[in-house]
């Protein structure tokens, strides 16, 4: 038996073994084996998919941008019912693809696979799936594929939870100039509507030195902007051998030379510290943007949701942040139709939206998730009532965001150029610190660079501008 220093070395060995297999199959086929990863869900999943793709490419697969590939992976989400429906829709199509190309390997992974009822359904009705794994063992992709090609049968490997973090695996970043960086995994909050703690396991933080090493590496490869990822970044570092706060971590990341912008997602209002606000206010690199999910404006519902703050506390916190970080852009997440939501509760939500004046918000219709406490609450809200409230909320948000958008016209701001504008020739699209997009004249060679742009016109939720020197 070969001895390995750590898990990542063991996995690199599997990648080497699979490389031989991929090379043999490519020769038989007469062209390289292709792969595709389709991602559903949040930035955590986007990041996981970059890791999966990194492993596949190390094994010799060539990425293609169609699902008609020799290996197709679905990295799934289950935060709301429609995420599940989407996957089953895709699987219907995939069955036909596999009939045409029986050699095709189909893998399912991610949050949805952590639910036992999903695995049962796939085993029963989607027999053509080759490989199933969850959120805790994505680092094993090469090993699992090896097991699949050796055995010829369906491989299912789901872990309930893990305390392990496997570092130093390959990753293929989607953008050359920005990327997500995990700072912690899992969630301990158990908001009563939410499935995430059940499918992502308990909270565990990465060591600061591993985070810093990864960021230094990507910066040396051209990354200008990082997004620090965690379900509740405010509890970063609590379980480390040498505990450290999120604000302290931010200060360390700030020191990295060549890094220009730092974003993070997601802070929880219940434990957002004064230290964090201060670090943001003083920082040159942390973007002046706070995404602070409120979920509801009703103190009664917030209690039912297990959020540990009241309407008044949320409003006071928002005010404090705005006072100490002038011009901060404020965004949020809101759920409409949580069980028992009355007209009065909903009015409270509208009231907070009006008072905080959000720049934008992600709005969701409450979705019942099996296994969560809210799913068994009896007073589920009528669909038509939810639809009407949802529309009223959107109308109000349109007003608050338009009002905020207007404020920037005439200002000159730093912009990270992300892509060529797909609608107009000779134009590029860049992102402002507040996360909104601006379109202006530019060329392909500028993608990934930071420039100063004067904002000349607002369009409600994006801008037009012109590049200025200096
Ligand atoms: N950890 C983050 C968010 C993770 S999920 C946080 O606490 O803010 C992203 C968003 O999905 C949540 O903020 C919530 O608004 C929404 N969401 C989660 N579960 C939901 C459900 N069952 N129905 C509707 N929206 C939900
Ligand atoms: Fe879900 Fe709440 Fe955890 Fe966010 S903090 S992932 S909403 S349980
Ligand atoms: Fe993200 Fe969906 Fe999982 S929102 S954590 S991919 S359930």
pLDDT by 10s per residue, the chain, length 470: 577 889 999 999 999 999 999 999 999 999 999 999 999 999 999 999 999 999 999 999 999 999 999 999 999 999 999 999 999 999 999 999 999 999 999 999 999 999 999 999 999 999 999 999 999 999 999 999 999 999 999 999 999 999 889 988 999 999 999 999 999 999 999 999 999 999 999 999 999 999 999 999 999 999 999 999 999 999 999 989 999 999 999 999 999 999 999 999 999 999 999 999 999 999 999 999 999 999 999 999 999 999 999 999 999 999 999 999 999 999 999 999 999 999 999 999 999 999 999 999 999 999 999 999 999 999 999 999 999 999 999 999 999 999 999 999 999 999 999 999 988 899 999 999 999 999 999 999 999 999 999 999 999 889 999 999 86
Q: Rounded to the nearest whole angstrom, what is the distance from the C-alpha of residue 232 to the centroid of ligand 3?
A: 13
295 lines ligand 1 (CB under 6 A): yes
As for ligand 2, residues whose beta carbon falls within 6 Å of it are 187, 189-191, 194, 196-197, 231-232, 268
Angle subtended at Cα 401 by Cα 400 and Cα 403, rounded to the nearest 5 degrees: 65
Nearest C-alpha neighbor of 51 from the set 149, 120, 121, 137? 137
Token digits of residue 149 = 């090609």
The span from the CA of 34 to the CA of 104, in Å, is 10
| β-strand pairing of 289-291 with 329-336 | parallel
Closest C-alpha to ligand 3, atom 5:
196
Which 8-state DSSP code applies to residue 295? B
- Spacing, Cα 199 to ligand 1 middle (Å): 13
Which long-range CB contacts under 8 A does 240-243 form with residues at least 24 apart? Answer: 240/205, 240/207, 240/208
Single out the residue of 277, 349, 276 nearest to residue 307, CA to CA.
349
Residue with the smallest CA separation from ligand 1 atom 1 is 231
Distance CA 47, CA 183 (A): 12
Ligand that comes closest to the CA of residue 365: 1
**pLDDT score of 35:** 98
CA–centroid distance, 266 to ligand 2, in Å, is 9
Inter-residue contact 152 to 174 (CB < 8 Å): no
Best mutation site among 194, 296, 366 for ligand 2 pocket (most ligand atoms within 8 Å of CB): 194
Omega of the bond leading into 266 within 30 degrees of 0 (cis): yes
Q: What is the pLDDT of residue 106?
A: 98
> What's the Cα-to-Cα distance from 99 to each of 86, 96, 161, rounded to whole Å?
21, 5, 35
Closest among 155, 164, 169, 172 to 207, alpha carbons compared: 164
Q: What pLDDT was estimated at residue 4?
A: 83
H/E element holding 261?
strand 261-265
Atom in ligand 2 nearest the alpha carbon of residue 195: 1
């Amino acid at each position: 038996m070969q001895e390995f220093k750590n898990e990542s070395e063991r996995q690199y060995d599997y990648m080497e073994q699979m490389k031989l297999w991929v090379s043999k199959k490519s020769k038989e086929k007469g062209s390289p084996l292709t792969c595709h990863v389709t991602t559903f869900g949040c930035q955590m999943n986007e990041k996981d998919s970059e890791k999966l793709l990194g492993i596949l490419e190390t094994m010799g697969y060539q990425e293609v941008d169609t699902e008609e590939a020799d290996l197709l992976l679905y990295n799934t989400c289950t935060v709301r019912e429609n995420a599940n429906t989407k996957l089953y829709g895709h699987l219907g199509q995939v069955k036909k693809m596999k009939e045409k190309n029986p050699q095709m390997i189909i893998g399912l992974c991610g949050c949805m696979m952590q639910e036992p009822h999903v695995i049962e359904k796939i085993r029963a009705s989607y027999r053509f799936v080759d490989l199933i794994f969850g959120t805790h063992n994505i680092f094993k992709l090469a090993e699992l594929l090896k097991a699949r090609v050796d055995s010829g049968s369906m491989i299912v490997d789901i872990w309930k939870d893990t305390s392990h973090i496997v570092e130093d695996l390959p990753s293929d970043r989607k953008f050359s100039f920005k990327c997500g960086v995990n700072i912690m995994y899992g969630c301990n909050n158990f908001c009563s509507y939410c499935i995430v703690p059940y499918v992502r396991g308990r909270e565990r933080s990465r060591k600061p030195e591993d985070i810093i090493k990864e960021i230094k590496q990507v910066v040396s490869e051209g990354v200008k902007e990082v997004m620090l990822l965690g379900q509740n970044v405010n509890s970063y570092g609590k379980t480390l051998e040498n505990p450290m706060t999120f604000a302290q971590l931010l200060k360390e990341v700030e020191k990295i030379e060549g890094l220009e912008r730092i974003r993070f997602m997601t802070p929880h209002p219940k434990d957002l510290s004064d230290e964090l606000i201060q670090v943001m206010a003083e920082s040159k690199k942390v973007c002046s943007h706070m995404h602070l999910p409120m979920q509801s404006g009703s103190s009664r519902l917030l209690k039912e949701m297990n959020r540990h703050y009241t309407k008044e506390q949320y409003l006071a916190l928002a005010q404090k942040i705005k006072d100490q970080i002038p011009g901060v852009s404020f965004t949020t997440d809101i759920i409409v139709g949580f069980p028992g939501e009355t007209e009065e509760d909903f009015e409270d939500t509208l009231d907070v939206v009006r008072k905080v004046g959000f720049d934008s918000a992600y709005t969701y219709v409450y979705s019942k998730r099996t296994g969560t406490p809210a799913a068994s609450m009896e007073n589920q809200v009528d669909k038509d009532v939810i639809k009407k409230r949802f529309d009223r909320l959107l109308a109000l948000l349109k007003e608050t965001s338009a009002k905020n958008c207007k404020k920037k016209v005439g200002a000159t701001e730093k912009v990270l150029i992300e892509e060529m504008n797909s609608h107009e020739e000779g134009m590029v699209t860049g992102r402002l610190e507040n996360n909104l997009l601006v379109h202006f004249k530019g060329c392909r060679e500028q993608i990934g660079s930071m420039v100063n742009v004067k904002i000349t016109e607002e369009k409600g939720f994006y801008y037009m501008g012109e590049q200025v020197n200096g």
